[in-house]
Structure formats: C-alpha cells, structure tokens
Chains A and B, each alone.
Chain A
Amino acid sequence: MIQKDTVATIAKLARLEFTEPELMTFADQMNQILGFMEQLDGLDTSKIEATSHAVDIPGPMREDRVVESNVIESLLKENAPDHEDNFFRVPKVL
C-alpha cells in the first residue's frame, strides 16, 4: 500500500505540487491501479528476456556533419517564455 508520504515524495521527484486532498486522491487511485498490476506477479518470467522495443532496430550511425538549423530566432522570439540575447532566462538559481 502506498501512503500519502510516498505520493508526496514521488511528486517531488516528478516536480509536481499537490494539495493535501489531491495527495489523498492520488494515493487511493495509485493503490487501485498498482493493485490491478499485481496480477503480473503470478507469471514466472525468470527465464524471459525483456522487450524494450517491439521491432529490433540496431542504433543507426551517421556521419558527424555540421548542418544549419535556423531555428534559434523562432525558438527565442516565438516560444521562449523569457530570453536575453541568444540565451534562455530563468529565475535565480541560488
């Protein structure tokens, strides 16, 4: 069973904030969902390999070439919440 404290720790790891009632709701729902996942425990998978991708594709290689991207202006002017010169601006770190 997941307790409210665990949910709070997970939220911190995921950089999410919740109110107390939200933490309680999440704890309930996660317990219900994780309980449902317990049916996998009944399967013996000790000799089974893991599948990370359905279609086995070797990592393709390519030449290391410099190409122009031409997106800096659009990224900064149309999309960056805050920027200065060619940099993203963020609130004080320390």
Chain B
Amino acid sequence: MELHQLTIAQAIEKLAKKEISSAELTAACQQRIQQTESQLGSYITLTQEAALAQAKAVDDRRAKGEPLPPLAGIPLALKDIFVTKGVKTTCASRILENFIPPYDGTAVRKLIEQDYVLLGKLNMDEFAMGSSTETSYFKKTKNPWNLEYIPGGSSGGSASAVAAGQCLGALGTDTGGSIRQPAALCGIVGIKPTYGRVSRYGVVAFASSLDQVGPMTQDVRDSAILLNTIAGHDPLDSTSVNRPVPDYTQSLKTDVKGLKIGVPKEYFIEGLDAEVKKSLENALEQYRSLGAEIIEVTLPHTQYAVPTYYILAPAEASSNLARYDGVRFGYRSPNAKNLTEMYQKSRSEGFGPEVKRRIMLGTYVLSAGYYDAYYLKAQKVRTLIRRDFEAAFQQVDVLLTPTTPTPAFRIGEKSDDPLKMYLSDIFTINVNLAGLPGMSLPCGLSSQGLPIGMQLIADYFQEEKIFHAAYAYEQATEWHRKRPSL
C-alpha cells in the first residue's frame, strides 16, 4: 500500500512506531496531488512549502522524544470556507479572491493545536451554494470515479481529494447536505454533526441556523477521530452547545443485536434510482443478518423539506451576504463613481449567478408583504418536520435512508435548471432543518462504477449511535475499501 492511501488511524500508528515520517507522508500526498490535480481540480490553494516545513518540525520533535498529540504530522486539507490565518480563503468566489484572514476559526485552531499538516484549501460551490461544485468561480472539480461526472457539492473538492488520496482526510461544511451528498457520490464517509456540536466560528456563513462543520474521511474510524478533535463548546459561537464531548472511537462496535433501525417509507419514492434502492435493500438485509431490528417509520412532512429549505436558506444567505459591500475586505469594483454604485458594482461583479439567484430569492421572501407568506410559513413547517423526527426517535435508535436519489450526474447535466439541482438535496436537507446529526457512508457501486451512499440519522447529540451503526455495517462489508482507479 502506498503512503497516500493510508487512513488517518493507520498513519497515526505508523508515525508513532516511527515506521514512517510525517515528511514522507506529506510528500506522498503532495506527489499524488501533482499526479492527479490537473485531472481532478480539487484544490484552490496549495500550501506546499508550509506543509513540508510543518511536517519536518513534527518529525524533529518526535525524534527528540517529545510527547505529541494524536494528529501530529497528519496531512489534511480544508474546504476553502474555513478562515485560515495568513492563507487565502476564497469561498470559491471572486468577491473573496484575495482575502487573507487575520485569524483562524475554532475548528482549524483545534487541528493546529494537534500539530496537523495543512496541505491546502479545497474547491467548493461558491459560498457553499450548489450540489455539484460547478458554481465555483475558479474551476470545476471532477469525480475521481469518472472524470465526466460531478463530485457532488458543495464540499466537492473535499470529497474528491479524500477519495483520490490527495489528503488523508478533510473538513467540510453542510447546510443542506454539502458534506453527505458529495461523500456519497465519491464513495467516502461524511458526517454532519448535531447543530451546535462543532463551533462555526471562523467558517464563512451561508445560512446560520443550518450550517454545521464536519469531517470527510475514508472510513468511519477516521470520522470519529476527527470529530473528537473538532467537537465541543466555544464561547466564540453563541450557537455552540455546552455539552461534554464523548470519545466517539469508543462507539466503534460491531455488535448491533437489538439495535432498532427505522426506515422512513417516504424516502423510497418514485424517482429513487433502482440501483440506489437495491443497495439500500442489501444494506437492510446486512443489518438484519447482524441482528438489528428493522422497523418501518413515517416522516409525513418529508415532501415539504425542499420548498421549506429553499425559503429559509436563501433568506438567511441574503442577510449574511450583505457584508460583502467592497468597503472593508474582498473585491471592490474599480468602475464606481459613488458609494451606492460601489456597493452595486462590487457585488454584481463579485458574485456568480447562483449566489445572486439565492440573494434575490432571499430578499424577495423577506421583503415587506411576503415575510409571513414565505419566511414565517417555512419556519412553521420546519417545526412540523422536526416533530416528525422526534416522533420517529421515540421508536428507533437510528434512521437509515439513501443519501441521494441517484449516483453522481454528468457535469453540466443540471447546471441550467436550478430547481432540478435543488431537488438533488431531497434526502439530506430535512436533517439540517431539524438540526439532527447525519452521516453518509458507502454502500454500493452502480453498474457504471459510480459510488452509492446511505445515510444514518440519529436524535440530537446521539452521534455515538451513528458511529456504532456505521462501524458495524462497514466492518461487515467491503465498500469502504473500494477506491477509484485513477
């Protein structure tokens, strides 16, 4: 096995035993990036020299016998939505093309405290608005399993890089499925923790009542290792919740006898791809044979999630994105004669079409006379969606659903039809609306060789149940070992 193919857990062990050095591991990832990046386009910024210097510094300390934290010398990468001190943070937008943050966000700071190695910043949909990474101002990222297909979005660069071995793991963000959907389409593991579990301080805001940070990794154990590191209360994010963080690796057990798995019937609808359906049925059979109990449940308001989300998320986005005005940071148009023109031209030249569409939608649904009909209505439906889940978790430990209705689609296939694109989030956005934790993990390959993912959802702050159920399935199957032949 080549070094860039190691999981985080394997690399931690080899580094501790001094079988490999962090410099070798980092160089192996960088070489892999060099070999594959022209085809994949996963990265916006590479921090090559700083990465090697950091790796060597960790190696020196290890050689001296200094005690090191678990992630010391592990090469990871970040979605370009995480602000990184001194490293350009663009959010894949022209408006932040030259933004150099003066501080690190909390999740990043926690990785720095562990002496991790930052390989670079990963491509994404502009301001995380999209499901295919096609709305990036800089480039289109390809799916490593088939270069004619999208990697999913908005954390498409993260998913592509992890699947292709361009980094050992990555962080993404998930507002409506932006970790889980690309994880499913690239055949990796991605978890969106409970809203409030991970601090959002230093993460460029999209829709503040929905945004959450999470790991994207090759397998379930790595996911638990990274979540252990980034989870926890942060006084700098008033929505972060003050609850103890369990050691998620303690939940990685293979015995699921008596575990109650709910299957919401509303997710097995018309439009669900036959191969995705078959993979989910196989997964249910697998769980049954492991001794879990499968129970059909109902989430009656499922069909209202997409319209609810596409009112609330753009409304919050239109407000959050008001800060990009060309005054203090980011792009300023050189073509303006007065202040109002400066606002208008900076924003019009700086934002791409999808971001503008969402700002327009959001401004409309919040405007006088429409607020009650759209925004307030959607907040009420959000209550109904949340109650559906609360009722289901009275009966079961976790819910199992497909992550996406189909495997990856072709580049360009949906980019001219916003509504069609929005519907590709149909199975993931309910989880954000309810604020629950959800994970996607690989459970099959289509006849065309594209990955299929399944989603495990648990009650608030019950990530341990997800890790338990996911690990048991993973260890009983081989899907997580499949890698694209790139």
Contacts and interface: CB of A to CB of B under 8 A. Distances in A.
Interface in B343-358: 343-345, 347-348, 351, 356-357
A52 interface: yes
A14 B363 contact: yes
Interface of B: 98-100, 102-103, 194-196, 209-210, 235, 238-239, 241, 301, 303-304, 306-308, 310-311, 318, 325-332, 336-345, 347-348, 351, 356-357, 359-361, 363-364, 367, 374, 376-384, 386, 418-419, 422, 432-436, 460
Contact of B332 (A2, A14, A16, A81): A81
A40 B304 contact: yes
A33 B357 CA distance: 11
A88 B330 CA distance: 13
A13 to B, nearest CB: 5
Given A16-B360, A43-B384, A50-B379, A57 B238 contact: yes
A39 B238 contact: no
Contacts of A90: 327, 339, 342
Interface of A: 2, 6-7, 10-11, 13-18, 26, 29-30, 32-34, 36-37, 39-41, 43, 45, 48-55, 57, 59-60, 62, 71, 74-75, 78-82, 88, 90-93
A78 B331 CA distance: 12
A78 B384 contact: no
Contacts of A10: 360, 363-364, 367
B209 A39 contact: no
Nearest to A75: B102
Contact of A57 (B196, B342, B376): B196
Given A55-B196, A57-B239, A79-B328, A45 B381 contact: yes
B102 A74 contact: yes
B383 A50 contact: yes
A57 B461 CA distance: 14
A7 B328 contact: no
B328 A50 contact: no
Given A15-B343, A43-B384, A78 B100 contact: yes
Nearest to B332: A81
Given A33-B310, A88-B328, A90-B339, A14 B381 contact: no
A18 B337 CA distance: 18
Contacts of A17: 344-345, 348
20 contacts: A13-B363, A14-B360, A30-B360, A32-B418, A33-B419, A36-B419, A40-B307, A45-B381, A52-B209, A52-B379, A53-B209, A54-B436, A55-B435, A75-B102, A79-B98, A80-B328, A88-B327, A90-B339, A92-B338, A93-B338
